[in-house]
Structure 1
Amino acid sequence: MGDTIETGAIRKVCVIGAGVMGAGIAAQVANSGTPVLLLDIVPDGATDRDAVAKGAVAKLLKTDPAPFMSKRAAKLVETGNIEDHLDRVGECDWIIEAVVERLDVKQALYTRLEELKRPGTAVSSNTSTIPLGKLVEGRGDQFRRDFLITHFFNPPRYMRLIEIVRGEATDPALAQRVEDFADRFLGKRIVPAKDTPGFIANRIGTYWLAVAINAAMDQGLTIEEADQIGGRPMGVPKTGIFGLIDLVGVDLMPLLSKSLSSTLPQGDPYFDTLRPMPLVDRMIADGYTGRKGKGGFYTFDKATRTKRALDLSNGQYRDTIKPASLPRAADKDLAALVSAPGKVGAYAWEILGKVLPYAAMLVGEAADDVVAIDDAMKLGYNWKFGPFELIDKLGAGALAKRLADEGRPVPPILATAGDRPFYRIEGGRRQYLDASGEYRDVVRAQGVLLLEDVKRAGEPVMRNGSAALWDVGDGVATLEFTGKMNALDEDVARLIVQAIPVVKARFKALVVYNEGTNFSVGANLGLAMFAVNIAAWSEIDKLVSAGQQAFKALKYAPFPVVGAPAGMALGGGCEILLHADAIQAHAETYMGLVECGVGLVPGWGGNGEMLDRLVKSPAMPKGPMPAVAKAFELISTAQVSKSAAQAKEMSFLRPADGITMNRDRLLADAKQKALAMVDGYTAPEKPVFRLPGESARVGIAGAVADYRKKGIATPYDEVVSGRLANVLTGGDTDIVDPVTEDQLLVLERKAFMASVKDARTQARVEHMLDTGKPLRN
């Protein structure tokens, strides 16, 4: 069995079970740069005994959205089988069991692992329902010390929740080692759960979905009405309730129901939701298991290209029906929603009047505090608000009174709260109400720095309508975008210019960062179209010039500038990052210069910055043409990275730029990167380019013409590509002539203005604003 594992980092992981969850977990481990061994059974009669695990990896490589952040990560997954290779768990520091949800199968595997693994190697189960106490029955003391539950959510790359259950005998140091790895390397937020059936998220989530389905059927609602009432007003993802079931899988619901009903104590309110569901049974039998099958409650008719919906009254598909608008106040006021007349209020109350008290009942039983329950539902089911944040919107006292008036039990913590909120801000700190009735600070994990906490505790150094500058401590300032979708406009450019002398005088470094869903989707196209419609060409030219000047001022500022993106960083959002001295990107960063998609050319210095990156890339062949050709390919086709790792492969990120797996740690990591650059910092030298000129443009034009003839490029793509090629090749220059950065900016601005004045670009922008989709004209 080898020696006891040393305390420290987890260097290799074994995942046993190559199903959807096990394979997805293995992919996320590989995404962290950690080698992983993926094992599964030997299929009957197989010539390749590793076929199941190999097939799982092959499927992962074809799955969209991609479980792997890069193809390089996939190479870190070794495959094998549990008959021939289980002894290799001795090489691993953490063994994750993700086999079928059957206690006998899991226990038989643990019997073998107990003989083969090193003492001190963590073993965890990804079970979603089986209590830890049952899993370790019959195991020795050492195995019990090494065992815990790590419940991932699907898909493991994108869902940030991991519920962790420690047993009474679990070694705290071993559990902490696993939790640290899951946090820092797998990007998860740890939610401690108690050893109870379904833990937190699935117990509440399954009850919620069952209540919502039953109520929709009982009250005669269409699924569109149910998704409208039980969706956005309650902070549920835009899929709505029935759309969410389609997403997670209609066939998963009976499995969760069976597992929970076999383990929950009698008298649990969940049992009140159980009833025969012949409609759901028929859907599953016919292959309508949701998005992974033929469809679910919603389906898409490819022949007519229309979305269809299931009629709950007769089980037949029909065209979707847009429900009547909600009462004005009910759309944004939860109290108004549950008191609205007719089916709106009745359905909303049926859900919230059952689900919120159920969540409140679980404080102390499934979780220690309200924060764990709220985090579990927000991270595991993508709720915008946790159950107790929703209770605060209704008023704890009002909720308790309505329950009492209806003769229903009031959970103890609701009675404890009285008319007080579960969350409050005190002295700039967010606090929650505990079961004893005392308020306690919401404590972040060690090393986590969030701008939302900084903002609660003080005022910005400076701000305007679209941006703000914050002091995040240790001599570092943070520039935040604050407009809708963090779009960039003249106010952002203005604040950048105004902030530079302030940062120079009062700070050591600057981080460009925000906590929106997306870093920035680029320029404010709506504002630009307004200017176009009144032919305010001088104003547009001024905006382009202001953006160029602001981004270059940032680039040549006398202090380090670090960009810290997460989510989409598109167009101008990508360009501002390209001007930073360094980037510390969240793993889920999607970068691209996408302007050509709407008929424009990057106008805020992105062309030159991309050329400079490619020329200096160790992977790029020497000479002016390879870098120009690659830049043209990336920009003209509006390519966007599908991860930060891929952004590095595409040269949007430099080799030395950092990647942070946990979104909560991004600001702290970027701040440390900025501080590490302070000593001896000097601004970069202005680049001088050697660009190939007309001969290269002729070659590019020929290639684009071929694409147009094949139907890959449209006639207007050819025009936009020509404008872009003129910039990237240096305009009217010869390969022997140097092209300065300023000259390239002039070419870029001319190309942008020519594009924005073109009616075909205007049609593309308007179509994008109206539909969110590109126009192929």
Structure 2
Amino acid sequence: MNKTIRKAAVIGSGIMGSGIAAHLANVGISCILLDVVPKNLTDEETQKGYSLEHPAVRNRLATGAIAKLRKSTPSSLYDDTFAERITAGNLEDHLSHISEVDWVIEVVVENLQVKKDLLNKVERYWKPGTIVSSNTSGISIQEMVADCSEPFQASFLGTHFFNPPRYMKLLEIIPGTKTDPGIVQQMKVFCQNVLGKGVVLAKDTPNFIANRIGTYGLLITLQEMLKNGFTIEEVDAVTGPALGRPKSATFRTLDMVGLDTFVHVADNVYANITDETEKAAFAAPDALTSMVARGWFGEKSGQGFYLKKKGTNGSEIWSLDLVSMEYYPQKKVTSGSLEAAKLAKGARGKTKALIAAGDRYSEFAWNILKQVLIYSAEKVGEIANSIHEIDEAMKWGFNWELGPFETWDAMGLVRSVERMEREGLSVPSWVKEWIAAGNQSFYQKEKGTLYYVSEQSLKLVEQPPEIITLSSLKEQNKIVKGNDGASLIDLGDGVACLEFHSPNNAIGADILMMIQQSLVEVRNNFEGMIIANQGRNFCVGANIMLLLMEAQDDEWDEIDSIIRMFQNTMYKVKRFEKPVVAAPHRMTLGGGVEACMPADQVIAGAETYYGLVEVGVGLIPGGGGCKELALRISQHVGHSDVDLQPYINHIFETVGMAKVSTSGHDAKKLGYLRSTDRIIANQDHLIYEAKQAVLRMSKAGYEPIPEEKIRVAGSEGKAVLQLGAIGMRESGYISDHDLLIAKKLAHVLAGGDLQSGTLVSEQYMLDLEREAFLSLCGELKTQQRMQHMLTKGKALRN
């Protein structure tokens, strides 16, 4: 079974169904979105004279869902035009169209009988070879198709997307007892490579992996809280970043999920397991059921564990007292254990520090963790085949930094098991046998290769070739050279990777120096180089703290030297005689964009938020960003009589408003990425794809890019840009300082005061950039903006 999936049908146009359809559209798969036929007309349809038989009425639910996709925030679509890849329909008129698709996804209400009835109808039009799946959060896959034919069952499986489908990495694939193993493998590869998902294979048990462990953990947390008298905010302080979990922690997470939804998920486990002890753990506490009965579902109803109120100083967040069921102003939580966790580095260090601190919050964290860890160990073999799948599911599905077994290792496996047994807990026998065999942890590393316990033996973690992990390569002593800001790593096959690893990957002199040294090394010993890293974000820009300090000390020669070094380094990358590919991901701002622009090709993750944002700190791009954009416009129009002005206007607005792309595709629309640059869905594959691009260019006989002249808009174009900025100032949209920055930006992008159409060198444009950048550094209001960004983390409009 190796059928290519080019077209899909999604049945059910609710939040999940439309979100799945949107993500399929994101990766280029056309979709039919189907829902039931409405039984009543809306007032608007009545006014238009429609009947219930009108196509617009019959397709209303799907059509409305597609319209909402274009307006959703955050957007479900990489680009709102991708909604055109989704066709609206209904189950009565268009179900037969599933015979034309490669994949049918059922996303209707979480009710076994409803799903069974629908799948029986789907089989009537099903064509052998078409994959059919259910997006269910916990209903039995095999029971859904128990009445269907064996060939249909062989093509059926569960595909549990997490919400929102575009942004959540986890996808659980759940085979039925009769699912063709070839289809399971094909879907795993497809969902990883094309949809960009982190896939785990789950067993057909209630709530599968992530929701089974996650729901248990949330309920245990709630029970421990009620038993020991902790407040809402105390629990969230302990169960958030202090434990390597998201800031939403426990109760903000529940408010976002919806308490009614959470209770439904918990009830599904409760109803489908027989062990009485386990049942008791999944019984929703009275406080939770009371909130649901009152309609306090969380964010979607306006209140849940938290309530936003208007106060004298704006909006205030109030917390719920679960005893009195009344809200009170939120209180700040501090303690020695929380401070110790805050100061510790990484999720492992934070968890260890929190548990070891010994105060009441430390004890609370331990009481939660010990139960979750034991429960996870009990479920190995029942819900998943390995600890690794459980860990990955929790990291990808609940955004934990460490999975349960990684957490156990961080706390100290042997020591924590001894403590559990002292406290009367029953630790699964396989865990004790593993320790008795002389093992100190579940995971072990040897020469960069990761092993984990599986059926009481060590098993190699099989990383697909598309996943290259820089940390593993460094453990294998593959660092060619490095300093505090960056390292050059040997990826094998003649390709090196320049990795940023300064704080926030901000570009300073150390990174620039390493880029230059890397070019020498690659020239002598490699086929080419990629610029990539696996930090949380690719690069948040240049080191503005250094710039601010130099400006406050009037060290203008030093600032000039820094900017020249940045410009010269990027120029060397652009003219380098071997291929260079940049692979940015997530936040790629300011200098991070300028570090990518000289590359022969950019291969960006779909979730890349890309922008030249220097105006936010009172500056303009100074590392070649303005020059590169002007050059691209000149290349696009050629040395002809085509008017440059519309193109210059576009980039002036983009840079002047510090626009940041909402996706890699949006970065192309904004003009930051070229048509030859690529977008891939799976961020884990970026380094592999960039490496392959370097090898392709090298094999094809790479020739460095020759310098060419830039045709500029000149004084006339500059005047048009500045006139627009003046109009915005007179209308009150921008401040006087914004206008000053805009005038400087216009001067640079237009090529100064030359005649329109004049051809200039790249160095000429770089000089304009540097001069404007330096002059703005000397402005007090720019320095205030830089200071505000450093201290507050957001832009100041002064």
Structure 1 residue aligned with 2:127 = 118
Q: How many equivalent residue pairs? A: 770
Structure 2 residue aligned with 1:310 = 319
For residues 299 and 165 of structure 1, the distance between their equivalents in structure 2, rounded to whole angstroms, comes to 37
The answer to whether residue 427 in structure 2 is matched with residue 410 in structure 1 is yes
Structure 1 residue aligned with 2:74 = 65
TM alignment of 1:165-244, pairs within 5 A: 165-244=174-253
CA 1:339–1:484 in 2, change beyond 3 Å: closer, same or farther? Answer: closer
- 1:394, distance to aligned residue in structure 2 (A): 1.4
Secondary structure at the counterpart of residue 719 of structure 1: helix
What are the superposed Cα offsets for residues 44-97 of structure 1, whole Å, 9 maximum, x if unpaired? 124411111111111121111100000221110011111111111101111111
CA 1:403–1:202 in 2, change beyond 3 Å: closer, same or farther? Answer: same
Contact map agreement 2:718 2:752 (CA 8 A) in 1: no
Secondary structure at the counterpart of residue 516 of structure 2: helix
For residues 2 and 387 of structure 2, the distance between their equivalents in structure 1, rounded to whole angstroms, comes to 33
TM-score normalized with structure 2 length = 0.93
Structure 2 residue aligned with 1:399 = 416
- 1:618, distance to aligned residue in structure 2 (A): 7.6
Contact map agreement 2:714 2:757 (CA 8 A) in 1: no
Contact map agreement 1:513 1:519 (CA 8 A) in 2: yes
- 1:190, distance to aligned residue in structure 2 (A): 1.2
What are the superposed Cα offsets for residues 244-265 of structure 1, whole Å, 9 maximum, x if unpaired? 2222223321111121211123
CA 1:692–1:618 in 2, change beyond 3 Å: closer, same or farther? Answer: closer
What are the superposed Cα offsets for residues 610-645 of structure 1, whole Å, 9 maximum, x if unpaired? 122233348999332222212211110001110111
Structure 2 residue aligned with 1:583 = 602
For residues 316 and 488 of structure 2, the distance between their equivalents in structure 1, rounded to whole angstroms, comes to 45
The letter of the residue matching 2:592 is G
Structure 2 residue aligned with 1:277 = 286
Contact map agreement 1:103 1:135 (CA 8 A) in 2: yes
Out of 457, 466, 470, the position equivalent to 2:489 is 470
Contact map agreement 1:129 1:197 (CA 8 A) in 2: yes
Contact map agreement 1:625 1:691 (CA 8 A) in 2: no
Q: Please say which of residues 214-223 and 456-465 is displaced more in the overlay.
A: 214-223
What are the superposed Cα offsets for residues 283-313 of structure 1, whole Å, 9 maximum, x if unpaired? 6744x43333414323333564233132324
What are the superposed Cα offsets for residues 569-612 of structure 1, whole Å, 9 maximum, x if unpaired? 11000111111111111111111100011110100000011122
Q: Please say which of residues 275-284 and 111-120 is displaced more in the overlay.
A: 275-284
Structure 2 residue aligned with 1:479 = 498
The answer to whether residue 16 in structure 2 is matched with residue 21 in structure 1 is yes
What are the superposed Cα offsets for residues 679-702 of structure 1, whole Å, 9 maximum, x if unpaired? 221111223122222222222222
What are the superposed Cα offsets for residues 536-564 of structure 1, whole Å, 9 maximum, x if unpaired? 22222211111001111111000111111
Q: Please say which of residues 412-421 and 20-29 is displaced more in the overlay.
A: 412-421
Contact map agreement 1:363 1:413 (CA 8 A) in 2: no
Structure 1 residue aligned with 2:726 = 705
The answer to whether residue 444 in structure 2 is matched with residue 424 in structure 1 is yes
Structure 2 residue aligned with 1:545 = 564
Structure 2 residue aligned with 1:733 = 754
The letter of the residue matching 1:665 is H
For residues 620 and 771 of structure 2, the distance between their equivalents in structure 1, rounded to whole angstroms, comes to 10
Secondary structure at the counterpart of residue 336 of structure 2: coil
For residues 764 and 539 of structure 1, the distance between their equivalents in structure 2, rounded to whole angstroms, comes to 20
The letter of the residue matching 1:325 is S
- 1:335, distance to aligned residue in structure 2 (A): 4.2
Secondary structure at the counterpart of residue 568 of structure 1: strand
Structure 2 residue aligned with 1:3 = none
Out of 691, 702, 708, the position equivalent to 1:671 is 691
The letter of the residue matching 1:666 is L
CA 1:267–1:395 in 2, change beyond 3 Å: closer, same or farther? Answer: farther
What are the superposed Cα offsets for residues 698-726 of structure 1, whole Å, 9 maximum, x if unpaired? 22222112212222222211110011111
TM-score normalized with structure 1 length = 0.96
Secondary structure at the counterpart of residue 105 of structure 2: strand
CA 1:276–1:393 in 2, change beyond 3 Å: closer, same or farther? Answer: closer
Structure 1 residue aligned with 2:589 = 570
Structure 1 residue aligned with 2:331 = 321
- 1:449, distance to aligned residue in structure 2 (A): 2.3
TM alignment of 1:648-663, pairs within 5 A: 648-663=668-683
CA 1:280–1:729 in 2, change beyond 3 Å: closer, same or farther? Answer: farther
Contact map agreement 2:633 2:647 (CA 8 A) in 1: yes
The letter of the residue matching 1:627 is Y
What are the superposed Cα offsets for residues 157-201 of structure 1, whole Å, 9 maximum, x if unpaired? 011111111122111222222222211111111101111111110
For residues 127 and 706 of structure 2, the distance between their equivalents in structure 1, rounded to whole angstroms, comes to 54
CA 1:718–1:382 in 2, change beyond 3 Å: closer, same or farther? Answer: same
Structure 2 residue aligned with 1:645 = 665
Out of 356, 380, 390, the position equivalent to 2:373 is 356
The letter of the residue matching 1:566 is H
The letter of the residue matching 1:580 is A
Out of 537, 554, 567, the position equivalent to 2:573 is 554
Structure 1, unmatched stretches of 5+, are 1-5
For residues 265 and 641 of structure 2, the distance between their equivalents in structure 1, rounded to whole angstroms, comes to 55
Structure 1 residue aligned with 2:789 = 768
- 1:137, distance to aligned residue in structure 2 (A): 1.4
- 1:112, distance to aligned residue in structure 2 (A): 0.8
For residues 229 and 326 of structure 1, the distance between their equivalents in structure 2, rounded to whole angstroms, comes to 12
Q: Please say which of residues 467-476 and 38-47 is displaced more in the overlay.
A: 38-47
- 1:434, distance to aligned residue in structure 2 (A): 1.7
Structure 1 residue aligned with 2:28 = 33
Contact map agreement 1:16 1:38 (CA 8 A) in 2: yes
For residues 531 and 223 of structure 1, the distance between their equivalents in structure 2, rounded to whole angstroms, comes to 45
Structure 2 residue aligned with 1:100 = 109
CA 1:305–1:277 in 2, change beyond 3 Å: closer, same or farther? Answer: farther
For residues 27 and 533 of structure 1, the distance between their equivalents in structure 2, rounded to whole angstroms, comes to 49
Q: Pairwise CA RMSD of aligned residues?
A: 1.9
CA 1:237–1:276 in 2, change beyond 3 Å: closer, same or farther? Answer: closer
What are the superposed Cα offsets for residues 207-240 of structure 1, whole Å, 9 maximum, x if unpaired? 1111112222322222221111121121111222
For residues 585 and 284 of structure 1, the distance between their equivalents in structure 2, rounded to whole angstroms, comes to 47
For residues 659 and 439 of structure 1, the distance between their equivalents in structure 2, rounded to whole angstroms, comes to 37
Contact map agreement 2:508 2:542 (CA 8 A) in 1: yes
Contact map agreement 1:694 1:731 (CA 8 A) in 2: yes
CA 1:776–1:621 in 2, change beyond 3 Å: closer, same or farther? Answer: farther
Structure 2 residue aligned with 1:508 = 527
The answer to whether residue 605 in structure 2 is matched with residue 605 in structure 1 is no
The letter of the residue matching 1:34 is I
Q: Please say which of residues 302-311 and 546-555 is displaced more in the overlay.
A: 302-311
For residues 294 and 117 of structure 1, the distance between their equivalents in structure 2, rounded to whole angstroms, comes to 43
The letter of the residue matching 2:491 is V
Out of 616, 620, 624, the position equivalent to 2:644 is 624
The letter of the residue matching 1:357 is I
The letter of the residue matching 1:42 is V
For residues 61 and 435 of structure 1, the distance between their equivalents in structure 2, rounded to whole angstroms, comes to 48
Out of 384, 399, 406, the position equivalent to 1:389 is 406
The answer to whether residue 291 in structure 2 is matched with residue 289 in structure 1 is no
The answer to whether residue 40 in structure 2 is matched with residue 45 in structure 1 is yes
CA 1:754–1:316 in 2, change beyond 3 Å: closer, same or farther? Answer: farther
The letter of the residue matching 1:314 is S
For residues 599 and 458 of structure 1, the distance between their equivalents in structure 2, rounded to whole angstroms, comes to 42
Contact map agreement 1:566 1:589 (CA 8 A) in 2: yes
Contact map agreement 1:17 1:98 (CA 8 A) in 2: yes
For residues 382 and 516 of structure 1, the distance between their equivalents in structure 2, rounded to whole angstroms, comes to 16
Structure 2 residue aligned with 1:687 = 708
